[in-house]
Structure formats: structure tokens, C-alpha cells
Amino acid sequence: MRTIVAMPGDGIGKVVLPEGLRVLHAVGFDANYVHADIGWEFWCKEGNPFPQRTIDLLSEHKIGLFGAITSKPKDKAEAELAPELKGKGHVYASPIVGMRQKFDLDISVRPCQSLPGNPLNFIRRHGDGFEEPKVDAVIFRQNTECLYVGVEWTNPPAEVRAALETHKAMKMFKSVPSEELAISCRIMSRNACRRICEAAFAYAHKFGYKSVTVCEKSNVIRETSGLMRNEAKVVSKSYPGIALWETNIDAQMMWLTKNPEDYGVIVSSNMFGDIVSDGFAGLVGGLGFAASANVGRDVAVFEPTHGSAPKYEKLQPSIVNPIAMILTVCMMLDHLGETDKAARIKGAVAAVVKEGKVRTYDMLRLTGGPGVFAHGAASTAQMTDAIIANL
Ligand code: NAI
Ligand code: MG
């Protein structure tokens, strides 16, 4: 039997992950689930939000299901550390970024598909009425490189500054003292760009999408965005049936509401992929609906896009929407080749959304809090129950 590493994390991660497991059980997916520690609690208690024992479990079992974690700014990280750990040189680093780098989870997949009947779907004015375009975009985001690598300085050391000044464009900073300079490097490798483009095209081919859009800014950021664009061109030659479109991230965001239905698979670097995937997610229901996969050669971790929403953690019964987590579970099943079970769950989610009787507070555009039930909102568990009843 397969073993899944279950990492609820913090806040509502602890609420939604068990809902995902309930659905997995109901659909008849047999697995062992081993709990693994991750998140703020372990930063505070151990000075490490991503303990070695969790790394070991992921190395062994290869498949992780993750809820969400809490991250806080530098001053709070130091302040909340257990007294005996203070001043011992512990530095907080995001366990998600750490996990992606440690296991080279370089391919992030973020499907953004509108479900008919979702009151949060984007609508557009059309003549005197409104139309609701069917959005079906799948964003492939390079997950490990680009601006997120962390090669950055405030007050760069002299040798860094000297190296950068070998570039003539640095002239404009000549009179700026180093203490007043902040530098973040955008670093991308051909291999990683090639892999994300190959993953995007292979997916488009497998699921019949007619286009892959490479979304960058290669007219200005000529080297790094240019590299991604070139790799997309190279890979596209092996897929003559799929059109390669190119957009710039800024224009793409402007066009987001103009013709989102025209886009299929989108491929992008880490920073721009983060932006464009949140943009598309907003058209199909936002954080309550956004699922994602982080896939490497060896290990894959599946997570809803939302964070730990700490203000809702303790609310009983819980109000948050479990659909993002439940769609995340479907991505895991698809990855494991359990496509029938994934399709059954997706069908059940679609049926509940279409029927419109059971809606969490976000779907009713209510302000979150215990009062939402009086306005007809379903609880987290009621939403999951309705989905299970439709399996
Ligand atoms: P968030 O995603 O936790 O919450 C933002 C707001 O979105 C919430 O207040 C809530 O109104 C709504 N929301 C989120 N998930 C929802 C759901 N399932 N159903 C209904 N509504 C939902 O982002 P925020 O508030 O910026 O960050 C809170 C903490 O989460 C921070 O510590 C942040 O660092 C962390 N975070 C973690 C992420 C992760 O684990 N992947 C991603 C984003 C933020
Ligand atoms: Mg994001």
C-alpha cells in the first residue's frame, strides 16, 4: 500500500487537510498516511520549521500532501522563538521554499478552471447583459529559480558590487552608496526552463489544449525571460499541433479579464508564474478553489494555494472552503495514476457547486466569522459531506 506524508502545517492547514483525507477515504483510495511536522509551531519550539524527520519521511515515501503554514516577519520570528533557542543563530526560512529546493520540486502546476454555478466566477459585461466565459487555464510555474533563489543583498559586499560594475548598466548606480543599495538576482538555468516548458507542452498534448502561452517579459528582461522564451520555442518544435503564444506578464494581467477563455496552458518563471496563477485563480473563485502540485523528478507535494488564514483556525465549526484542498487531493490522485477516482471527486465537486445549495462563506461573499451560518453559509465539514454524498 502506498504511504502518503500528510503535513497539515499551521492554521487552517490543520482544518482542510483532514477534509481531504475524508474524501480520499470515501472514494476508496487505500493508503497509509504518516503525519509529518512542519510550520511555525516547529520554528518556535525547535528553531526549525522544516525538521529533518519530515525531510526523511518525504525522502522515503516520495508523495506529500500539505495544508498550509504560517510565516511571520523577521522581528516576530525572533520574538516567538522559545527562550532557550534565542540568540543561538537560528534564522527563519520558509519551509515551503525549502521543500521545493531540497527536493528540486521544480514544476508547479496550478489549474484554474471555472465550475459552472460558482457565484465567484468572473463575468463580463456584454452589450446590455453579462456573459460568463469558461476559464480553463493551467499554469506551469518554474518553482525553484528566478527571484526566489535568495541571492540578494542589502548593502552588497565590495566584491559583489565590483563584479556587478563590470556591466555598463550599473553606471546609473555609481553615486549610490552600497548601504543604500538592495540587490536581488534573477537567476535561471536552461535546464530548468527546458523542463518546465517540456512539462507544459506534454500536459497540453495529453489533455488536448490547443495552445501553450509563454508568459514572460523578454522585450525588456532579455536574458532570463529570453532564455525561457527560447526554450519554449525549442520545445514547441516537437509539438506541431500546439500553438506557441507569447505574452508579456504586464499585458497578460491587463488581458486577464478581456479574454481569459482563450488561454490554455501557460508557462512561466517563478515570479511571473506566481503572479499569473493568482490572477487566473481570482477568475475562478479565488483561494477557496485554487489547488497546486509541486513536482520534481523523485518527490511530489500537493497543496492548496491558500495560506494558513490564522484568524479562522480556532473557529468552531470551521467556515473555510475545503474545495481547494479537495481539488489538491485530485491532483495527487492524477499524479498517482488514479485518474478515475480523481474524476469522480472532481465530478462530485462540480455537482455540489452547480446545485448551489451548499456554499461556504467565501462563495456567498460574506465577511468571515461565526455569524456566517446565520446567512446561510455551510461549514467546512458540511461542504465536504455534500461532496462525499455526490461521489
Ligand atoms: P491566506 O491565504 O492564509 O488567507 C487570506 C484570506 O483568504 C483569508 O483571510 C480568508 O479570508 C481567505 N481564505 C484563505 N483560504 C481560504 C479557504 N480555504 N476558504 C475560504 N477563504 C479562504 O493568506 P494570508 O492571510 O496572506 O496569510 C496568512 C498566513 O499564511 C501568513 O502567515 C502567510 O505567510 C501564510 N501563507 C502560507 C501559504 C502556504 O502555506 N502555501 C501561502 C500564503 C500565505
Ligand atoms: Mg502566491
Residue 70: predicted pLDDT: 95
The verdict on 17 and 101 lying in the same domain is yes
Q: How buried is residue 381: exposed, middle or buried, by Cβ count under 10 Å (0-12/13-18/19+)?
A: middle
Of 160, 184, 208, which residue sits at a domain end? 184
Residue 194: predicted pLDDT: 98
Residue 265 domain boundaries = 122-148+187-283
Minimum-distance ligand 1 atom for the alpha carbon of 322 = 18
Residue 74: predicted pLDDT: 81
Residue 190: predicted pLDDT: 98
The verdict on 24 and 168 lying in the same domain is no
Task: Provide the number of structural domains found in the chain.
Answer: 3
Minimum-distance ligand 1 atom for the alpha carbon of 311 = 9
Residue 386 within any structural domain of the chain: yes
pTM of the predicted protein model? 0.95
Of 184, 199, 230, which residue sits at a domain end? 184
Residue 266: predicted pLDDT: 98
125 contact partners, CB below 8 Å, separation of at least 6: none
Ligand 1: distance of its center to the CA of 289 in Å? Answer: 12
Residue 359 within any structural domain of the chain: yes
The verdict on 235 and 219 lying in the same domain is yes
Query: What are the CA-CA distances from residue 109 to residues 19, 192, 321, 346 (Å)?
Result: 22, 15, 21, 17
Pocket perturbation via mutation, ligand 1, pick of 38, 72, 308, 363 by most ligand atoms within 8 A of CB? 308
The verdict on 180 and 196 lying in the same domain is no
Question: CATH number of the domain that 271 lies in?
Answer: 3.40.718.10
Residue 117 within any structural domain of the chain: no
The verdict on 135 and 236 lying in the same domain is yes
Minimum-distance ligand 1 atom for the alpha carbon of 9 = 40
Residue 100 within any structural domain of the chain: yes
Residue 23 within any structural domain of the chain: yes
Cβ distance 43 to 77 under 8 Å? yes
Beta-bridge partners for 214: 246, 267
The verdict on 341 and 276 lying in the same domain is no
The verdict on 163 and 247 lying in the same domain is no
For ligand 1, residues with CB inside 6 Å are: 68-72, 96, 287-288, 303, 306-310, 320-321, 324, 362, 368
Of 137, 160, 184, which residue sits at a domain end? 184
Question: Which residue has the CA at smallest separation from atom 25 of ligand 1?
Answer: 309
The verdict on 25 and 99 lying in the same domain is yes
Residue 75: predicted pLDDT: 85
Residue 56 within any structural domain of the chain: yes
Give average pLDDT by consecutive 10-residue segment, the chain, 391 residues.
96 97 96 97 96 98 98 89 91 92 97 97 93 97 93 95 96 96 97 98 96 97 98 98 97 93 97 96 97 98 96 94 98 97 98 98 96 97 98 96
Residue 355 within any structural domain of the chain: yes
Beta-bridge partners for 4: 33
The verdict on 323 and 381 lying in the same domain is yes
Q: How far apart are CA 27 and CA 22, in angstroms?
A: 9
The verdict on 87 and 171 lying in the same domain is no
Residue 19: predicted pLDDT: 98
Residue 289 within any structural domain of the chain: no
Minimum-distance ligand 1 atom for the alpha carbon of 66 = 40
Looking at the CA of 143, which ligand is closest? 2
15 contact partners, CB below 8 Å, separation of at least 6: 67, 312, 313, 318, 320, 322, 380
Q: How far apart are CA 391 and CA 388, in angstroms?
A: 5
The verdict on 255 and 132 lying in the same domain is yes
Ligand 2: distance of its center to the CA of 257 in Å? Answer: 19
Query: Residue 227: CA atoms inside 13 Å, Cβ hemisphere, count?
Result: 17
The verdict on 86 and 62 lying in the same domain is yes
